Amino acid sequence: MSEYSKKIRRSLKSIQKIGVKNKPKVGLILGSGLGIIADEFENQKSIAYSKIPYFPTSTVKGHANTLILGSIYDLPVVVMKGRFHYYEGYDLADITYPVRVLKELGIDTIIITNAAGGVNKNFKVGDLMIMTDHINLMGANPLRGWADENIYPRFIDMTFGYDVKLQKLAQKVGTKNRIKLQKGVYAAMPGPSYETPAEIKMLSRIGADAVGMSTVPEAIVANQVGLRVMGISLITNMAAGILKQKLNHKEVIEASEKARDKFVKLVKGILKELAKEYK
């Protein structure tokens, strides 16, 4: 057994101790201030990240550091209430390790959410953007150093890194619930400093619609392990230089709170549609 398999087994064993009745089908990673959706799930069992071997712990306000298993519309789900970031000092392999654990736990679909800055001038604060693609500007890749191709391939195709059918499903749910959804490309920067106005001009010119400091590493690994991926960005602020004002993390959390009802309605609607697929 490889060292990778041993680590995964230890992590799974600690999670299964809380009493997992049904294997989760869908995983969610909840970004800054977006943990509210976790309150909607039934039959909840939870475990702190600190109790799971090899799991990092988030040091960012708005991240609860809790793994939750439960169900909604009879669909078994697992939720990461809080995530980890490159700017916290973690390696990308550590940041994305939980995605590998969720895959082995049973999921085949993952919804990754984030708080992002709006680069597209047609966006406004409070918009929800369905990710169609990404630009990795973090200066690193979570698959760097991956050598065990007997488990998962080293070289993966990212042409459809964000599942097209899931994008259409989200649009259907948005239309049904009268939620206007933006679609666009998410650029990932290493952080933690916010981008400069000059960097935002660059991002706009290379095709980015939103910018943040997460999601891309998890999406890459999710594709490597064969998961269907959906990305949802909450536009919590317009990026530097677009509006003549400074940026701060408090603004991100406040915008998340204001948009939470819309966010919850969208994610619940998506999960309701996914539940039909698994019946």
Residue-wise pLDDT for 243-268, tens only, equals: 666 666 676 667 667 777 888 899 99
Q: Are 156 and 223 in contact (CB under 8 A)?
A: yes
Question: Does residue 249 carry a catalytic annotation?
Answer: yes
Question: Does residue 213 carry a catalytic annotation?
Answer: yes
The pLDDT, as a whole number, for residue 237 is 85
Q: What percent of the chain has pLDDT over 70?
A: 92
User: Could you read off the pLDDT of 126-167 as tens digits, one per residue?
Assistant: 899 999 999 999 999 999 998 888 889 999 999 999 999 999
Half-sphere exposure of 122 (CA within 13 A, CB side): 9
Question: Does residue 237 carry a catalytic annotation?
Answer: yes
The pLDDT, as a whole number, for residue 103 is 97
Active-site entry in 38, 80, 115, 138: 115
Active-site entry in 11, 49, 58, 63: 63
Question: Does residue 85 carry a catalytic annotation?
Answer: yes
Active-site entry in 38, 80, 129, 213: 213
Question: Does residue 214 carry a catalytic annotation?
Answer: yes
* pTM (two decimals): 0.93
Active-site entry in 14, 87, 141, 273: 87
Overall average pLDDT of the 192-212 stretch = 95
Active-site entry in 38, 65, 86, 88: 88
Q: What is the distance between the alpha carbons of residues 98 and 218, in angstroms, rounded to a whole number?
A: 9
Q: Is the pLDDT of residue 227 over 60?
A: yes
Size (the chain), residues: 279
Active-site entry in 11, 65, 120, 237: 237
Active-site entry in 65, 85, 219, 238: 85
Residue type, 196: T
DSSP symbol at 230: E
Helix ranges (H only) for the chain are: 3-16, 92-95, 97-105, 164-176, 197-205, 216-224, 249-258, 260-277
DSSP H or E stretch at residue 181: strand 181-188
Residue type, 209: D
Give exposure, 149-169, as e/b (b: 16+ Cβ within 10 Å).
eeebeeeeeeeebbbeebbeb
The domains found in the chain, sorted by start residue, are 3-277 (3.40.50.1580)
Active-site entry in 11, 214, 223, 233: 214
Please report which confidence band the pLDDT of residue 278 belongs to, taking 50, 70 and 90 as the band edges: confident
Taken in order 205, 231, 10, 104, the sign of the CA dihedral is: negative
Q: Are 119 and 239 in contact (CB under 8 A)?
A: yes
Please report which confidence band the pLDDT of residue 62 belongs to, taking 50, 70 and 90 as the band edges: low
Q: Is the pLDDT of residue 61 over 70?
A: no
Taken in order 276, 42, 70, 111, the sign of the CA dihedral is: positive
